[in-house]
Amino acid sequence: MAVETKEYRAEAKFQRVSPQKARLVLDLIKGRGVQEALETAAFTKKRIASVIHKLLTSAVDNAKYLSGEQGLDLDVDNLYVKLALANDGPRMKRIRPAPMGRAFRYQRRLTHIVLAVAEREGAAGLVTKIEEPKTAPKATKAKVADAKPAAKTARAAKAKATTGKKASKKA
């Protein structure tokens, strides 16, 4: 029976960055532990990284608060980034001056960023012992010895055929 894990969200709406640029940083932290994700966001050299860092801190604070309100036992060290999305927001239409009195239109993209953190399963997700794969039984020497001459004769026949073709081309 699957145990339902509680997830805690935080959202930042109408951020002045394109969703494509925000996804670059979100892909770095998706699936990582919260502490590692905070460190990654703090040292990423993108303008949106500071916003994502604040948002992740907010999601962790939401988890602490809500688990306290609901009386749940939450291990903050066991939280990980379950969901990291950068959705399209509305687009602002702008006009840029162009040569000869014309104007070019362009769009400023806005982003809605959604982060969700959840608590990892206890020991179920951890690998404690690695099983070694069972190897196939080794072939006997007689079978291997029979296979080698057949391969050698096939190669020899192929080599003779190619030298015969070369000789016929020269003539």
Q: Is residue 129 part of a domain?
A: no
The answer on 106 and 68 residing in a single domain is yes
Q: Which domain does 150 fall in, by range?
A: 139-171
Closest-CA residue to 27 (of 99, 84, 107): 84
Percent of the chain with pLDDT over 90: 60
**DSSP letter, residue 20:** H
The answer on 148 and 98 residing in a single domain is no
The vertex-65 CA angle with 64 and 68, nearest 5°, equals: 85
- The structure tokens listed for 72 are 């749940």
The answer on 104 and 29 residing in a single domain is yes
Q: What is the pLDDT of residue 170?
A: 55
Q: Is residue 53 part of a domain?
A: yes
Q: Is the pLDDT of residue 146 over 90?
A: no
Q: Is residue 124 part of a domain?
A: no
Distance CA 148, CA 133 (A): 28
Q: What is the pLDDT of residue 128?
A: 45
The answer on 100 and 37 residing in a single domain is yes
Distance CA 167, CA 12 (A): 77
Three-class secondary structure assignment of 79-107:
EEEEEEEEEEEEEEEEEEECHHHCEEEEE
Q: Is residue 55 part of a domain?
A: yes
pLDDT in tens, 79-116: 999 999 999 999 999 999 999 999 999 999 999 999 99
The answer on 94 and 23 residing in a single domain is yes
Question: For all residues of the chain together, what is the average pLDDT?
Answer: 83
Q: Is the pLDDT of residue 9 over 70?
A: yes
Q: Is residue 165 part of a domain?
A: yes
* Residue whose token pair is 């404690």: 128
Q: Is residue 44 part of a domain?
A: yes
9 C-beta neighbours (distance < 10 Å), count: 17
The answer on 48 and 108 residing in a single domain is yes
pLDDT in tens, 13-29: 999 999 999 999 999 99
pTM for the complete prediction? 0.67
Distance CA 14, CA 105 (A): 21
Average pLDDT of 152-157? 65
Q: What domain count does the chain have?
A: 2
Q: Is residue 128 part of a domain?
A: no
The answer on 157 and 107 residing in a single domain is no
Q: Is residue 127 part of a domain?
A: no
Higher pLDDT, 107 or 140: 107
Q: What is the pLDDT of residue 88?
A: 96
